[in-house]
Structure 1
Amino acid sequence: MNLPAAFKIRSRTTFIISSVIFFFLFRYLNVVALFFSPSSLDNMTVKHLVLFQFKADVSAEAVKESSLRFFDLKDSCVHPTSQKPYIKTLSGGKDNSKEGLQGGISHAFVLEFESLKDRDYYVDTDPSHQKYKAFIGRHVEKIIVVDYVEGQF
């Protein structure tokens, strides 16, 4: 088949440009998919924010005991495979904000986990955490939990 020369050049140019565009889109989309896929999140550090609003009739001693028991989770939560504590960091304390936007929340705690799998084990299965949840339930009016990976919006 004899095609005009202009068509051959245009077709070849179109093919090359299309190939280059396809190549870059394919690479870019694969990188984006890899970066944001659930499996890639498995290996990212996860922050676990826990906020408590204690019931009005709970004593200061019970609030203190609840907070100290929460901090004990850092050592008592043991990984099922390694048999070692797996909470990387745990910090927290009593609210001291002057903004007045707490909505009744008085205490905040931040836990850091090595991966989503560790966080999931903590939330769903860990015996020490399950025991703490049973304990704290009678003292709190409201609990808010927010999990996040730093820098992901």
Structure 2
Amino acid sequence: MGLITHIVSFTYAPTVSSSEKHLIASSFLALKERCALPKDFYANTQAEAESDEARVEGETLDGGRYIVECSGGCNNSPEGFSRGFEHTFILTFCNKQERDYYLDRDPAHQAFKEMLGGKLADDGKGKLIGVWVFDFEAGVFE
């Protein structure tokens, strides 16, 4: 199993200030240090975790940080295909299990999502349109 890349792009509600956007971006980037696996995360799958070639050397398997890489920035493409998305973030996880924990259960990520409440663009009828997410495993096209 290869690394999982998780890409997230935001476009903000018109009422969100530049300083709020900066706070959101810095809070997102801080997730790399704030997110940690529970100590018993690999209790039943320790052998699988230890054989994972993507594991960062020296990183603990239980209770440790698990986001391998995290980067992001403002759109600066001259091509004009951004569809209004202002910020994009790219996270790398060792495997799908850790990505899924991040998405559904990590308390730091859940708190970040709560902080976003009302700050991303909607369609005027309450439907969220200010986020785009794409995940992939490198080299897997099926």
Q: 2:134 aligns with which of 135, 146, 153?
A: 146
Alignment TM-score, normalising by the size of structure 2: 0.76
Show CA shifts across 1:37-91 (max 9, x none).
Answer: xxxxxx3210000000111121000000000000110010001131111000001
Which 5+ residue runs of structure 2 have no aligned equivalent? 40-61, 122-129
| 1:152 CA drift (Å) | 1.3
Show CA shifts across 1:74-122 (max 9, x none).
Answer: 0100011311110000011000011111111010000000000000000
User: Looking at CA atoms only, which structure, 1 or 2, has the larger radius of gyration?
Assistant: 1
* Aligned residues of 1:51 and 1:107 also touching (Cα < 8 A): yes
* Aligned residues of 2:2 and 2:138 also touching (Cα < 8 A): no
* In the alignment, structure 1 residue 107 sits paired with structure 2 residue 107: no
* Aligned residues of 1:47 and 1:113 also touching (Cα < 8 A): yes
Match of 2:35 in 1: 77
Q: What is the DSSP-based 3-state SS (H/G/I as helix, E as strand, rest coil) of the residue aligned with 2:102?
A: helix
2-structure distance, mates of 1:80, 1:46: 20
2-structure distance, mates of 1:64, 1:138: 16
Alignment TM-score, normalising by the size of structure 1: 0.70
* In the alignment, structure 1 residue 127 sits paired with structure 2 residue 115: no
- Structure showing the higher helix proportion among its residues: 1
| 1:150 CA drift (Å) | 1.0
- Runs of 4+ in structure 1 off by over 4 angstroms are none
1-structure distance, mates of 2:36, 2:70: 14
**CA RMSD of superposed structures (Å):** 0.8
Counterpart residue identity of residue 12, structure 2? F
The alignment-based identity, stated in percent, is 35
